[in-house]
Amino acid sequence: MPLSIRDLPAPLDTALAERLRTVDFPTLGHYLEEGFCDAALQRVAGTGKLVGRAVTVRTTATDSTLLHHAAGLVGPGDVVVVDTGGDRRHAPLGEVVVNALAARGAAGAVVDGLCTDIDALRAVGLPVYAYGRTPLTTKLHGLADGSLCAPVTCGGVPVHAGDIVLGDANGLIIAPAGRLADVLDEALVDDAEEPALIAELWAGAPLGALTGATETLRRLTASR
């Protein structure tokens, strides 16, 4: 693809971001189907919840020039999302790039491919998501190919600059802010009700009776 460098997206809605930090991310899976990255794309460094604004970078298999440029532009709360074009041999993300991101206050990094320098990445503590690790790295070839802040694909999910990246030990969700806002209130209500539900289970109540699943099956079998 030709070289494409676009402006950084609009700032993240801080109020929405703070509310998203309070929700259990798997609860969002009760209300959404889209936005969930490939389950094999997992956290390899860092801890806790990741909430941030997607800054998208499209590299080639061997050239990380654009990623180095992007690392000098990000700020607090940004999550660099790297589309490697499907490459699973080279690591564009390693100790130097992750330190560059952390030094600027970035919230995390996601690579639709591999990373390297895993011990150093874990020492930095920045949340990093990748498919795996390798000692084979990208180079600074300076190819006129790739993009910054253009649409990319990561973990099978289409990602636009400015989308919200949510990550924890379960995996990643990347979606437009508006889509997450649409379901957030219901998800937070579910989270608030869950402790009482679990208490009832330990008191002996059957799960199907509490959720309505047993009554649904009764109606289905009665109508046959």
Please tell me the distance from the alpha carbon of residue 71 to that of residue 191, in angstroms, as a whole number.
Answer: 36
What domains are there in the chain, each with its CATH number?
4-181 (3.50.30.40), 183-223 (no CATH)
Query: Helix and strand tally (H, E) in the chain?
Result: 8, 13
Helix (H/G/I), strand (E/B), else coil: 164 = strand
Q: Which residue has tokens 């560059």? A: 100
C-alpha span between 66 and 63 (Å, rounded): 8
Asked whether the beta carbons of 25 and 191 are under 8 A apart, the reply is no
Give the DSSP H or E segment for 144: none
E strand or H helix that includes residue 206: none
pLDDT of residue 2: 84
Helix, strand, coil share of the chain (percent; to 5): 35, 25, 40
Residue 109's pLDDT is 98
Residue 96 annotated as lining a ligand binding site? yes
| Phi, psi angle pair for 57, to nearest 5° | -135, 130
Does the annotation list 193 as a binding residue?
no
The pLDDT assigned to 113 comes to 98
Phi, psi of 38 (to 5 degrees): -45, 130
Amino acid symbol at 179: R
Digitized pLDDT (tens) for each residue of the chain, 224 residues in all: 689 999 999 999 999 999 999 999 999 999 999 999 999 999 999 999 999 999 999 999 999 999 999 999 999 999 999 999 999 999 999 999 999 999 999 999 999 999 999 999 999 999 999 999 999 999 999 999 999 999 999 999 999 999 999 999 999 999 999 999 999 999 999 999 999 999 999 999 999 999 999 999 999 999 87
- Are the CB atoms for 103 and 121 separated by under 8 Å? no
SS3 label, residue 99 = helix
Instruction: Please count the CA atoms within 13 angstroms of the CA of 98 that sit on its side-chain side.
Output: 28
Q: Is 108 annotated as a binding residue?
A: no
